[in-house]
């Protein structure tokens, strides 16, 4: 019991999102993940721009991006896909371990606005900027 209390004190600056907030995020990310995985499979099997892939509009933004890179090499597109898949998996595992919304680099809370735009992100704005440099 005492241990739990201490843990709570340690975490007092870190807010954990309640399940009712996380659940829709988890569902959204999962469906995006399966969309991306299907796309990757299509890509590996041949033409990524076949009808089956186009019909998959699970993630509108990703679909647009995918069409934009349609002229690039399939390998470049696959890299983008892989990166998104890894990122979404990471976010999902952070939900699972109760760390969603906490920056994986500095441990601060990630801006809610940022999470709303990029629910798959696992780093805060500051760390993202540092990473880009
Ligand atoms: Zn950070």
pLDDT tens for each residue of 50-109 = 544 455 555 555 655 655 555 556 778 888 999 999 999 999 999 999 999 999 999 999
26: CA distance to ligand 1 center in Å? 21
Specify the higher pLDDT residue, 7 or 110. 110
pTM over 0.85: no
Residues with CB under 5 A from ligand 1 (ion): 103, 105-106, 124, 127
Residues 69, 39: Cα–Cα separation, whole Å: 14
Residue 102, SS3 per DSSP: strand
> Where do runs of H (alpha helix) occur along 1-133?
2-10, 19-45, 51-55, 60-68, 74-96, 112-117, 125-132
pLDDT band at 8 (very low <50, low <70, confident <90, very high): very low
123: CA distance to ligand 1 center in Å? 5
Q: Please report, for residues 31, 33, 35, 117, the alpha-carbon distance to residue 56 in angstroms, rounded to integers and kept in the order given.
A: 11, 12, 7, 21
Reported as a single tens digit per residue, the pLDDT across 28-55 is 999 999 999 999 998 888 654 554 445 5
């Amino acid at each position: 019991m005492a241990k739990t209390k201490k843990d709570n004190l340690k975490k007092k600056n870190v807010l954990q999102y309640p399940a009712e907030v996380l659940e829709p995020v988890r569902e959204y990310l999962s469906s995006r993940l399966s969309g991306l995985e299907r796309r990757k499979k299509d890509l590996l099997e041949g033409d990524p721009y076949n009808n089956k892939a186009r019909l998959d509009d699970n993630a509108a933004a990703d679909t647009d991006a995918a069409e934009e890179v349609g002229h690039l090499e399939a390998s470049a597109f696959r890299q983008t896909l892989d990166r998104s898949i890894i990122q979404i998996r990471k976010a999902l595992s952070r939900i699972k371990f109760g760390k969603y919304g906490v920056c994986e680099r500095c441990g601060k809370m990630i801006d809610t606005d940022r999470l709303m735009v990029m629910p798959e992100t696992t780093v805060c704005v500051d760390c993202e900027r540092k990473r880009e440099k």
